[in-house]
Amino acid sequence: MGAPLPQSVLFCCDHNAIRSPMAEGIMKKFYGAGTYVQSAGVRSDMEVDGFAVAVCREIGVELERHRSRSFDEMEKWGDDLGSFDLVVALTPASQRRALELTRFYHLDVEYWPIIDPAGLGESREAKLVSYRQARDQIVARLIDRWGPPQEGP
């Protein structure tokens, strides 16, 4: 059995287009609405990645409607980082930015090193394999941290 679920979690990565949206969607699917889950990027200069959408759809997670957003956009829209119980950084750049933005708050920032599938694989199938690997790393980290899915994958 994993740790108790936090009340709120923010997943972050570089562009909020692959890893953090996958983590947000999978966490919502696995653990339901009892935890407020969001994601953000250091930048929001990309739309959600089609391969991320495809590999998440394979496990019943919908990402099509995800809209990328940055830490700066979160603050502009009134989402206070200090209101999250936990920030999970999935890239070194997002970890640095999260630590910088939360240095005055009492909240935990964890780093989960998840591979960046964006530049991997030549063919469509090879790319999908890389994206599945990133997805499966996220699934494993979630289960390791909070136990088996409550909603079923």
CATH number, position 79:
3.40.50.2300
12 inside domain: yes
153 inside domain: no
Average pLDDT, the chain: 89
Q: Which range marks the domain in which residue 66 is found?
A: 8-146
129 inside domain: yes
Q: What is the pTM of this model?
A: 0.91
Report pLDDT digits (tens) over 23-79.
999 999 999 888 999 999 998 877 888 999 999 999 999 998 888 888 888 878 777
Token duo for residue 42: 């250091």
Are 89 and 101 in contact by the 8 Å Cβ rule? The answer is: no
What distance in Å separates the CA atoms of residue 68 and residue 65, rounded to the nearest whole number? 10
What three-state secondary structure class fits 142?
helix
User: What pLDDT sits at residue 151?
Assistant: 53
